Chains A and B, each alone.
Chain A
Amino acid sequence: MYFLNAALLGMSRRVVASILVIFGGAALLAAMASIGLWSHWVGWQKQNLRASRTAAVFVDSIDKNVVEEVLTQVMQVPGVESARVVSPEEFTAFLKQHFPDLAAATVELGDSVIPRTLEVVFPLDSDTFSRQHSADQIKAIKNVTRIDDGADRLGAAIHSLAWLSYGGICLTIGLWLVLLIVCLGHYQSIFYTDSQEIQLIRSFGASKFSIFLPWLLEAVFQSLITGIVVVLSLVFGRGYLTEVYNQFFGSLGYEPFVLENKNFLIVSMAIFLLALVAHVLGGLFALMRGKIA
């Protein structure tokens, strides 16, 4: 009970410093969580972007039977996960969305000017060599005029995504280190101001653990409160974050950002853990630097 009282009393005696550390830490952790999630999503996009493993196969005929025949042959090519016919309506809708002038022209000229295409999807784990081999086999099919590989088109963009992801992860780690330094400074100042009390309890035969326990409890409380503040801010800011992320991803035609409840729970637990580790490590470093115990 003494240790609990000492921890609570310590926080109330240093209420301004405690609030600053809690909200400063919460701001850092919220930024960290946002950037971390973004980096993770960018990494995921790099691996899972549907467009990058999709190829458009152009057929040199508008005859439905010919197109179906090409589709059947494409499906038999090794390394093809799935294939489907892109309907003229779907193609027109795409043109309307991205190239309205071209769409208006095709309306006047009729369906016959719209190239018949197939959308071919390669497996997630397919390597460049096997994909190229599959693409070459598709090109060799009768009535196939050309194949437009998404990986080739997005190659440079995917490379940039990888660097963005690494940059985001570095920034996330950097923010956590800033939090650790903030905690170190906070606990160092606590140990300095409480040095009389530490000296006193040491004179009663307190072990190092007993000396550190009240500050450990204080660290646990502060990290819990910090975690709650961050999780609440993410709960309320989740919609906004999603919108901001999708402004970026949407502009490049990538998969929309979605944060499912299960993942949100994992993120929340990670936030609590990171806050706790930063506070406890900060306290231990401060204790070692001060050589108080």
Chain B
Amino acid sequence: MLISLRQVAKAYSPNSLVLRNVNLELAKGEFLFVVGDSGVGKTTLLKLITAEEFPTDGQVTFDGIRSELDSSKLLRFRRRVGVVPQDYRLLKDRTVYDNVVIPLFFGRHGTNSPPVSFMGKGARKLVEDAVTNVGLPVKILEARVRELSGGEQQRVAIARAIINSPDLLIADEPTGSLDHDHTWTVMDLFQKLNLKGMAFVVATHDREIIRRVRKRTCHLSGGTIRVDDREGACIF
């Protein structure tokens, strides 16, 4: 299993349990939607999967590595994961190129992408491919992120997440700021990458996406997974 959560609970303070009794397994190359009402713990679940947060109780393993035990292996695992945060986490005073290129310089152990030299040779081509894949023009690379619209910023964050050809892409509301056409550009890209073997965990509110893509869907409610629909038969 690529990701495994067993009896996981997460509390940010002693009296506020955000997640409890969560059991989830994700195989390599699998596509998973996480749905649920606002504040139900979707983002926390994704943060547990990326090891940005650690469980209060239970166990999270990444490709057999326990998150709280092995920090050096965890670093290597993180290099195999692409993340699209809900708030994009872009460096607003930098150019699009500077933002998208970042993951290429922090080790590429275990990723499927071609090597980039320490001086950055070969990085330009990879960045151009990534932004083109998310429907952005190449000329946008020199623009500063703060000059972009919300939708463009979201696609820059997606380009940054896929540039390393990660084994797993975790996206928190990746189409929340996109119009209809760009939503489907991104979802088509996700499906294409999924066909090539990239696993996905996507948190979304968009019912249309879930209905049309028809992938495994976990419904979070009351801090735990109420329904794990492996057929994607549109459960909400």
**Chain A residues in contact with chain B, CB under 8 A?**
1-3, 5, 9, 13, 196-197, 199-201, 203-207, 210
Tell me if B102 and A204 are in contact (CB < 8 A).
yes
In the assembled complex, how far is the CB of residue A40 from the closest CB belonging to chain B, in whole angstroms? 42
Query: Can you sample 14 A-B contacts with CB below 8 Å?
Result: A1-B118, A1-B119, A3-B105, A9-B94, A200-B102, A203-B89, A204-B103, A204-B106, A205-B75, A205-B78, A205-B80, A206-B107, A207-B106, A210-B105
State A98–B129 Cα separation when bound (angstroms): 87
Please tell me if B79 contacts chain A, counting CB pairs below 8 Å: yes
State A210–B104 Cα separation when bound (angstroms): 12
Tell me if A205 and B77 are in contact (CB < 8 A).
yes
In the assembled complex, how far is the CB of residue A260 from the closest CB belonging to chain B, in whole angstroms? 42
Contacts of B123 in A (CB 8 A): 1
Contacts of B186 in A (CB 8 A): none
Tell me if B120 and A203 are in contact (CB < 8 A).
no
Please tell me if B101 contacts chain A, counting CB pairs below 8 Å: yes
Tell me if B91 and A200 are in contact (CB < 8 A).
yes
From B79, B89, B102, B119, A196 is in contact (CB under 8 Å) with: B89
Contacts of A207 in B (CB 8 A): 75, 106-107
Tell me if B106 and A210 are in contact (CB < 8 A).
yes
In the assembled complex, how far is the CB of residue A215 from the closest CB belonging to chain B, in whole angstroms? 15
Tell me if B79 and A5 are in contact (CB < 8 A).
no
Contacts of A1 in B (CB 8 A): 118-120, 123
Name 10 extra pairs, CB < 8 A, besides A1-B118, A9-B94, A205-B79.
A1-B123, A2-B101, A2-B102, A9-B98, A196-B89, A196-B91, A200-B91, A203-B50, A204-B102, A204-B106
In the assembled complex, how far is the CB of residue B106 from the closest CB belonging to chain A, in whole angstroms? 4
Contacts of B94 in A (CB 8 A): 9
Contacts of A205 in B (CB 8 A): 75-81, 106-107
Chain B 76-114: CB-based contact to A (< 8 A → 1; otherwise 0): 111111010000010101100010011111110000000
In the assembled complex, how far is the CB of residue B96 from the closest CB belonging to chain A, in whole angstroms? 14
Quick one: closest B residue to A194, CB to CB?
Answer: B91
Tell me if A201 and B120 are in contact (CB < 8 A).
no
Please tell me if B231 contacts chain A, counting CB pairs below 8 Å: no
In the assembled complex, how far is the CB of residue A16 from the closest CB belonging to chain B, in whole angstroms? 15
State A7–B155 Cα separation when bound (angstroms): 26
Contacts of A206 in B (CB 8 A): 75, 106-107
Please tell me if B208 contacts chain A, counting CB pairs below 8 Å: no
Please tell me if B179 contacts chain A, counting CB pairs below 8 Å: no
Contacts of B98 in A (CB 8 A): 5, 9
Tell me if B89 and A200 are in contact (CB < 8 A).
yes
Quick one: closest B residue to A2, CB to CB?
Answer: B105
Contacts of B75 in A (CB 8 A): 205-207
Most buried by B among A1, A9, A13, A205: A205
Please tell me if B52 contacts chain A, counting CB pairs below 8 Å: yes
In the assembled complex, how far is the CB of residue B162 from the closest CB belonging to chain A, in whole angstroms? 13
Most buried by B among A2, A13, A196, A206: A2
Quick one: closest B residue to A3, CB to CB?
Answer: B105
Contacts of A5 in B (CB 8 A): 98
Top 3 closest pairs, chain A to chain B, by CB: A205-B78, A205-B79, A1-B120
Most buried by B among A199, A203, A204: A204
Contacts of B118 in A (CB 8 A): 1
Chain B 27-67: CB-based contact to A (< 8 A → 1; otherwise 0): 00000000000000000000000101000000000000000
Contacts of A201 in B (CB 8 A): 102, 106
State A196–B45 Cα separation when bound (angstroms): 21
Contacts of A200 in B (CB 8 A): 89, 91, 102
State A3–B107 Cα separation when bound (angstroms): 13
Contacts of B81 in A (CB 8 A): 205
State A30–B50 Cα separation when bound (angstroms): 49
State A30–B140 Cα separation when bound (angstroms): 47
Most buried by A among B76, B83, B106, B119: B106
Quick one: closest A residue to B94, CB to CB?
Answer: A9
Contacts of A2 in B (CB 8 A): 101-102, 104-105, 120
Quick one: closest B residue to A210, CB to CB?
Answer: B106
In the assembled complex, how far is the CB of residue A33 from the closest CB belonging to chain B, in whole angstroms? 36
Contacts of A3 in B (CB 8 A): 105
State A204–B191 Cα separation when bound (angstroms): 23
State A206–B164 Cα separation when bound (angstroms): 14
State A1–B80 Cα separation when bound (angstroms): 22
State A204–B50 Cα separation when bound (angstroms): 10
State A196–B107 Cα separation when bound (angstroms): 20
